[in-house]
Amino acid sequence: MNFDENTYIDEMKKLVDTAIEKLSKENYPFEVYTASIWTDPNAGVSSINFDSKTNSDAKVEQSNAWNKKYFDEYTAEGDFEQAKLFESAGTRNCNPADFELRNYVQ
Protein backbone atom coordinates (compact mmCIF):
# COMPACT_ATOMS: atom_id res chain seq x y z
CA MET A 1 0.00 0.00 0.00
CA ASN A 2 1.37 3.39 -0.96
CA PHE A 3 1.76 6.14 1.61
CA ASP A 4 -0.79 8.94 1.15
CA GLU A 5 0.77 12.02 2.68
CA ASN A 6 -2.42 14.10 2.57
CA THR A 7 -4.46 11.42 4.35
CA TYR A 8 -1.74 11.04 6.97
CA ILE A 9 -1.61 14.78 7.64
CA ASP A 10 -5.43 14.95 7.89
CA GLU A 11 -5.47 12.01 10.33
CA MET A 12 -2.69 13.55 12.43
CA LYS A 13 -4.54 16.89 12.62
CA LYS A 14 -7.65 15.04 13.83
CA LEU A 15 -5.55 13.11 16.36
CA VAL A 16 -4.05 16.32 17.76
CA ASP A 17 -7.46 18.02 17.90
CA THR A 18 -8.95 15.00 19.70
CA ALA A 19 -6.11 14.96 22.23
CA ILE A 20 -6.45 18.68 22.97
CA GLU A 21 -10.21 18.38 23.33
CA LYS A 22 -9.95 15.32 25.60
CA LEU A 23 -7.24 16.95 27.74
CA SER A 24 -9.30 20.11 28.17
CA LYS A 25 -12.35 18.09 29.29
CA GLU A 26 -10.54 16.02 31.94
CA ASN A 27 -11.63 16.70 35.51
CA TYR A 28 -8.19 17.39 36.88
CA PRO A 29 -5.62 20.07 36.07
CA PHE A 30 -2.79 18.70 33.98
CA GLU A 31 0.06 20.91 32.84
CA VAL A 32 1.82 19.41 29.83
CA TYR A 33 5.58 19.34 30.31
CA THR A 34 6.39 17.14 27.32
CA ALA A 35 4.32 15.91 24.37
CA SER A 36 5.22 13.05 22.09
CA ILE A 37 3.60 11.88 18.89
CA TRP A 38 4.74 8.65 17.30
CA THR A 39 3.62 6.63 14.30
CA ASP A 40 4.21 2.97 13.53
CA PRO A 41 3.55 2.80 9.78
CA ASN A 42 3.66 -1.00 9.66
CA ALA A 43 0.95 -1.28 12.31
CA GLY A 44 -0.96 1.71 10.95
CA VAL A 45 -1.08 3.33 14.41
CA SER A 46 -0.21 6.77 15.76
CA SER A 47 -0.29 7.88 19.38
CA ILE A 48 -0.11 11.10 21.35
CA ASN A 49 1.47 11.01 24.80
CA PHE A 50 1.76 13.70 27.48
CA ASP A 51 4.03 13.92 30.49
CA SER A 52 3.99 16.13 33.56
CA LYS A 53 7.07 17.70 35.14
CA THR A 54 6.47 15.73 38.34
CA ASN A 55 6.37 12.39 36.52
CA SER A 56 9.31 13.33 34.31
CA ASP A 57 11.45 14.28 37.31
CA ALA A 58 10.57 11.01 39.09
CA LYS A 59 11.39 8.86 36.04
CA VAL A 60 14.68 10.67 35.44
CA GLU A 61 15.62 10.26 39.11
CA GLN A 62 14.92 6.51 38.93
CA SER A 63 16.84 6.13 35.70
CA ASN A 64 19.82 8.14 36.92
CA ALA A 65 19.98 6.11 40.17
CA TRP A 66 19.97 2.85 38.21
CA ASN A 67 22.59 4.16 35.75
CA LYS A 68 24.83 5.48 38.55
CA LYS A 69 25.23 2.02 40.06
CA TYR A 70 26.67 0.62 36.85
CA PHE A 71 28.54 3.80 35.93
CA ASP A 72 30.36 3.70 39.28
CA GLU A 73 31.01 -0.04 38.97
CA TYR A 74 32.57 0.19 35.51
CA THR A 75 34.49 3.36 36.38
CA ALA A 76 35.99 1.62 39.43
CA GLU A 77 37.08 -1.23 37.16
CA GLY A 78 38.65 1.26 34.77
CA ASP A 79 36.27 0.27 31.95
CA PHE A 80 35.48 3.80 30.86
CA GLU A 81 34.04 2.74 27.51
CA GLN A 82 31.40 0.60 29.24
CA ALA A 83 30.87 3.24 31.95
CA LYS A 84 30.02 5.80 29.26
CA LEU A 85 26.94 3.71 28.39
CA PHE A 86 25.58 4.40 31.88
CA GLU A 87 26.06 8.16 32.08
CA SER A 88 23.25 10.29 33.48
CA ALA A 89 20.01 10.11 31.51
CA GLY A 90 19.73 13.87 31.63
CA THR A 91 17.00 16.05 33.08
CA ARG A 92 13.90 15.16 31.06
CA ASN A 93 12.01 11.92 30.51
CA CYS A 94 12.09 11.25 26.76
CA ASN A 95 10.50 7.79 26.78
CA PRO A 96 6.80 7.98 25.83
CA ALA A 97 6.24 4.56 27.43
CA ASP A 98 7.04 6.18 30.79
CA PHE A 99 4.88 9.28 30.27
CA GLU A 100 2.10 9.93 32.77
CA LEU A 101 -0.50 9.94 29.99
CA ARG A 102 0.99 7.39 27.59
CA ASN A 103 -1.05 6.41 24.54
CA TYR A 104 -3.49 9.11 25.58
CA VAL A 105 -5.10 9.16 22.15
CA GLN A 106 -4.46 6.64 19.38
The per-residue pLDDT for range 37-56, each reduced to its tens digit, is: 999 988 889 999 999 999 99
Q: Give me the pLDDT at residue 96, please.
A: 95
Rounded-to-10 torsion of CA 23, 38, 4, 44: -90
The pTM of the full predicted model, rounded to 2 decimals, is 0.82
- Is it the case that residue 28 has pLDDT exceeding 90? no
Quick check: 28 and 19 in contact, CB under 8 A? no
Separation between Cα atoms, residue 55 and residue 98, nearest integer Å:
8
Element (H, E) at 102: strand 101-105
Is the pLDDT score of 32 beyond 90?
Answer: yes
Domain boundaries, the chain: 5-105
